A and B are shown apart, each in its own frame.
Chain A
Amino acid sequence: MPLLALEAVHAGYGAIRAVRGISIEVDEGETVCLIGSNGAGKSTTLRAISGLVRVTDGGVLFRGRPITNEAPHRVAAAGIAHVPEGRGIFARLTVTENLEMGAYLRPRGPEIARDLERAFETFPRLRERAHQTGGTLSGGEQQMLAIGRALMARPVLLLLDEPSMGLSPILTQAIFERIREINREGTTILLVEQNATSALAISNRGYVVESGQIVLSGTGPELSANDSVRRAYLGEL
């Protein structure tokens, strides 16, 4: 049984149907990526999973249990953490408070302090900025904070929406390196990216999304080698 399964999911905003029958599966321990151009429906797919946008048809199963159109806080409680596009940093809370907020559902205790320490170890920059407000961080630091905060929930599944957006190539590489480590430590990852090269490099499998539908799927190397993928998303002529 896959950890997460989308079965012919349709979702969108009002009359705009951004997702039109997407079916994907993510197995426990995998990193899976959704690649595709701007407006293909990748972000909406993630938002449909976490309950932020209404699923109009089809279903979402998490650990075999339907979570279709569950309230977002229930989806979070089930073990799915979502790092949204644009990171969603709490600008007027400090870095530490942002991280603590990630552990909102967990009982207070030494475990949280330990995880806070771990977040600072994973992202040393955040420790330097611990008492600064989130809004004062640079784009890369905010991305680290967003990922660190999501991990504070000890999620089973981490949804990452465009972690490389607005970052320099060096920072992007650093972030992807971290994502790979997080996955190695046991968190399953569903990643949405426009930066297909980096995403495929760290993913077990990938899906190509176009106009709200899956047009292609395969393992990372398969997709990287595919001609149409290379032309469309990897910038080759």
Chain B
Amino acid sequence: MERTRAPFAALREALHAAEERTRLPVARLLLLVLLLSVPLWPMVDSRWLRILVLVGIFVVLGLGLNIVVGYAGLLDLGFVAFFATGAYTYAILASPASPALQADLNWWLAIPVVLALGAAVGVMLGLFVLPLRGDYLAIVTLGFGEIIRILLLNVRGLTNGAQGLFNIPRPELGGWVLRSLDQWYWLLVLSAFLIATAVGRMRASRMGRAWEAIREDEDVAAGMGVNTVKYKLMAFAMGASIGSFGGLVFAGFFQFVNPSSFTLAVSINVLSIVVIGGMGSTPGVLFGALILIGLPEVMQFSETERLLSVINPAVPFADTTDWGRQVASARFIVFGVLLVAVMALRPEGLFPARRPQARLPERHESTA
């Protein structure tokens, strides 16, 4: 164990020293550059980029939900509602197929609209669920997610019902249209980086401390002088705002929305990303999304099949002549087992939220 950890520790220390010297978040900037360079890597083709764009959208959603669940401890099972709010707001205001109005809203101008509307929907949900805690909160938010989907299905005059809205315009700025997968990918990396930075600031602020106290014990937090109503609503507003932005990207990228994209499964996926990654942890969201969204897709690749055929083990009871294809087609089973294993071995998630004290050489976090 010690030997495998040593190089990482050395790297971390080197990065630390660099950060102290330059007063810049060196580690994060390096990660950003690394991520931005991905489309230039030789092995990365359009299939990879398509997956990475999808992963990026889920990173954004995960960052949003992480505020609500990870920081403030409010178990929201209906996060898809905000994703849908963002996607449909842009679709209705920009799609030529929109039955209600033809606003031709530019994608870039839609950003503030979507952020504000998302926050408003978040506050609305927050007001309804203010007195609820724990499992009651989970059930009501779950219902809220479903209500939004059913509304989208039935308010045909606005949403075109089950048919959805199509021909949604791509982001366009002074004649320059965001078209290629690389550009989408870069847009997502940059926006996720900005969001993660903003969220990190919030967490370190007075608001972040209020959220953590609420998560730990709401009554006691109030007793310390935390305005729990205000900060719970803030958590919903911030989370929803970010989730709506994810929806905006989704609508602009796929150029098509219909209610079947906004099911409970999305909420569960985003929540799983947050939990698997480690509640309240930003790197956790990144890796959680890579594993949960990226891995099942990559397992479908023909290369994966070939690779699996090579390591073809002699399974006594199975026909292994076509092993790679078999594993690929059973990928959700493999994947499920993997998830259970992760949670069994690392119940705190892959990247447990780093407490400020984690900077000290020794942590005495386990039992005394």
Interface string of B219-233 (1 = CB under 8 A from A): 111111111110000
- Range of interface residues on chain A? 20 to 34
CA distance A81 to B225 in the complex (A): 9
Pick from B149-157, B179-187, B358-366 the stretch touching chain A: B358-366
Interface string of A100-123 (1 = CB under 8 A from B): 111011000000000000000000
- Residues of A near B222 (CB, < 8 A) are 51-52, 71-73, 76
Is A77 an interface residue, CB under 8 A from the partner?
A: yes
- Please state if B365 and A136 are interface contacts (CB–CB under 8 Å): yes
Tell which of B212, B366, B367 touches A90, judged by Cβ atoms closer than 8 Å. B212
Tell which of A71, A90, A93, A129 touches B227, judged by Cβ atoms closer than 8 Å. A71
Q: Which of A53-73 contact B (CB under 8 A)?
A: 71-73
Tell which of A51, A52, A77, A104 touches B209, judged by Cβ atoms closer than 8 Å. A104
Shortest distance in angstroms between B178's beta carbon and chain A's nearest beta carbon?
Answer: 41
Interface string of A72-109 (1 = CB under 8 A from B): 11001100011010001111111011001110110000
Interface string of B308-331 (1 = CB under 8 A from A): 000000000000000000000000
Is B303 an interface residue, CB under 8 A from the partner?
A: no
Known: A132-B364, A132-B368. A50 touches B223 (CB 8 A): yes
Q: Which of A135-151 contact B (CB under 8 A)?
A: 136-138, 149
- Residues of A near B235 (CB, < 8 A) are none
CA distance A76 to B213 in the complex (A): 15
- Please state if A104 and B368 are interface contacts (CB–CB under 8 Å): no
- Please state if B223 and A84 are interface contacts (CB–CB under 8 Å): yes
Known: A76-B224, A101-B209, A136-B366. A90 touches B357 (CB 8 A): no
- Residues of B near A136 (CB, < 8 A) are 364-368
Known: A71-B229, A77-B225, A136-B365. A88 touches B210 (CB 8 A): no
- Please state if A92 and B223 are interface contacts (CB–CB under 8 Å): no
CA distance A131 to B360 in the complex (A): 9
- Please state if B219 and A84 are interface contacts (CB–CB under 8 Å): yes
Report the nearest A residue to B366, measured CB to CB: A136
- Residues of B near A73 (CB, < 8 A) are 222, 224-228
CA distance A90 to B355 in the complex (A): 13
- Please state if B357 and A104 are interface contacts (CB–CB under 8 Å): no
Is B45 an interface residue, CB under 8 A from the partner?
A: no
Report the nearest B residue to A88, measured CB to CB: B220
Tell which of B216, B220, B355, B364 touches A84, judged by Cβ atoms closer than 8 Å. B220
Shortest distance in angstroms between B268's beta carbon and chain A's nearest beta carbon?
Answer: 24
- Residues of A near B210 (CB, < 8 A) are 104
- Residues of A near B217 (CB, < 8 A) are 88-90
Shortest distance in angstroms between A196's beta carbon and chain B's nearest beta carbon?
Answer: 25
Known: A90-B213, A131-B360, A132-B368. A52 touches B225 (CB 8 A): no
Shortest distance in angstroms between A75's beta carbon and chain B's nearest beta carbon?
Answer: 8
Shortest distance in angstroms between B357's beta carbon and chain A's nearest beta carbon?
Answer: 5
Is A153 an interface residue, CB under 8 A from the partner?
A: yes
Tell which of A102, A105, A132 touches B365, judged by Cβ atoms closer than 8 Å. A132
- Residues of A near B229 (CB, < 8 A) are 71
- Please state if A81 and B216 are interface contacts (CB–CB under 8 Å): no
Known: A132-B365, A132-B368, A136-B365. A92 touches B227 (CB 8 A): no
- Please state if A104 and B226 are interface contacts (CB–CB under 8 Å): yes
- Please state if B368 and A94 are interface contacts (CB–CB under 8 Å): no
Shortest distance in angstroms between A69's beta carbon and chain B's nearest beta carbon?
Answer: 13
Tell which of A81, A89, A131 touches B357, judged by Cβ atoms closer than 8 Å. A131
- Residues of B near A93 (CB, < 8 A) are 212-213, 216, 355
- Residues of A near B225 (CB, < 8 A) are 73, 76-77, 104-105, 153
Q: Which of A73, A76, A77, A93 has the most CB of B within 10 A?
A: A73
Is A197 an interface residue, CB under 8 A from the partner?
A: no
- Please state if A82 and B216 are interface contacts (CB–CB under 8 Å): no
CA distance A183 to B216 in the complex (A): 29
CA distance A79 to B212 in the complex (A): 22
- Residues of B near A132 (CB, < 8 A) are 364-365, 368
CA distance A22 to B95 in the complex (A): 65
Is A133 an interface residue, CB under 8 A from the partner?
A: yes
A–B Cβ pairs within 8 angstroms, 20 of them: A50-B223, A71-B222, A73-B226, A77-B225, A81-B223, A88-B219, A90-B213, A90-B216, A90-B217, A100-B209, A104-B206, A104-B213, A104-B224, A129-B364, A131-B360, A131-B363, A131-B364, A133-B355, A133-B365, A137-B368
The 9 closest A-B pairs by CB, nearest first: A72-B222, A88-B220, A90-B216, A105-B225, A76-B225, A82-B223, A104-B224, A73-B227, A131-B357
- B residues near A (Cβ < 8 Å) are 206, 209-210, 212-213, 215-217, 219-229, 355-357, 360, 363-368
